[in-house]
Amino acid sequence: MLLLQFTDTHLLGTPGVEVRGVETDVTLVRCLAHARQRHPAPRALLLTGDLVQDDRDGYARVRQQFAGAGVPVHCLPGNHDSPADLRAALAGPPFVHDLSNRYDGWLVVMLDSTVAGANHGHLAAAELARLDQALTQNADAYALVCLHHHPVPHGSPWLDALMLDNSAELFAVLARHPPVRGLLWGHVHQALDGIRGRLRLMGTPSTCMQFEPDAEEFNVDSRPPAYRWLELGDDGSLKTGIEWVAEDD
Ligand SMILES: [Fe+2]
């Protein structure tokens, strides 16, 4: 089963306005066109937060871009989103806001790690309890768990100050459920691919501009827009890769 992740689209209500030097709707269109060519038959899409850039009018533009996806579009919020506005503006198919989503032998979990008025992340006790319950009820399925904020440091002090602040609690829940195979996030505007026991750790670059990795201070990187593909196997295998979408691609 193929899934595609598009993260940190940072759309605005007004087209043509730049976010840190990038027209975010233009780069998203490029990523979507690339995906249609190279990965034409996904089972679902994952939008892992910062769908808009602090602009609720941006959700109408998110709707325009994804309404014709033809497959479920799973959404979770990031620190630049308003969770209530996101759900209201993207109500109804193909948009899905459920925490727990079953696809044959796989469970796809979408967590809300946002903290109102803050840029770092936190998983509320109730959200962790819902995760635990979903994994318990689907113990016969492998699981991919998605959230916005990074649960492991990326190596940039300014960015790691904005990570999930209770990762230990998340990892404690995941450790109780052996079929969890992958943990996937956005927020970082750069790539991370790691392994923690049986868990694949995956941080995904943005569909707009990237942040310079291993940087003491914030800096925009020159890497192009990107998205991630994930191939989830019936045997619990998880293959994944990042597509960097250069201008001439
Ligand atoms: Fe973010």
pLDDT tens string for the chain (249 positions)? Answer: 999 999 999 999 998 888 888 999 999 999 999 999 999 999 999 999 999 999 999 999 999 999 999 999 999 999 999 999 999 999 999 999 999 999 999 999 999 999 999 999 999 999 999 999 999 999 999 999 999 999 999 999 999 999 999 999 999 999 999 999 999 999 999 999 999 999 999 999 999 999 999 999 999 999 999 999 999 999 999 999 999 998 866
Q: What's the confidence (pLDDT) of residue 136?
A: 98
- How many A from CA of 206 to the centre of ligand 1? 10
User: Does residue 94 have a cis bond before it (omega within 30 degrees)?
Assistant: yes
Instruction: Say what the pLDDT of residue 249 is.
Output: 61
Q: What's the confidence (pLDDT) of residue 166?
A: 98
Q: How far is the CA of 228 from the centre of ligand 1 (A)?
A: 17
**CATH number, domain 2-244:** 3.60.21.10
Dist. CA 169 → ligand 1 center (Å):
20
Backbone φ, ψ for residue 235 (5° rounding): -90, 10
Distance 189 CA to ligand 1 centre (A): 8
What is the CA(5)–ligand 1 centre distance, in A? 15
Kindly give the pairing relationship between strand 106-110 and strand 142-146.
Answer: parallel
> Where exactly are the structural domains of the chain?
2-244
Contact 145, 174 (CB under 8 A): yes
Say how far apart CA 115 and CA 93 lie, in whole Å. Answer: 27
| Distance (Å) from CA 137 to ligand 1 centroid | 30
pLDDT value of position 247: 81
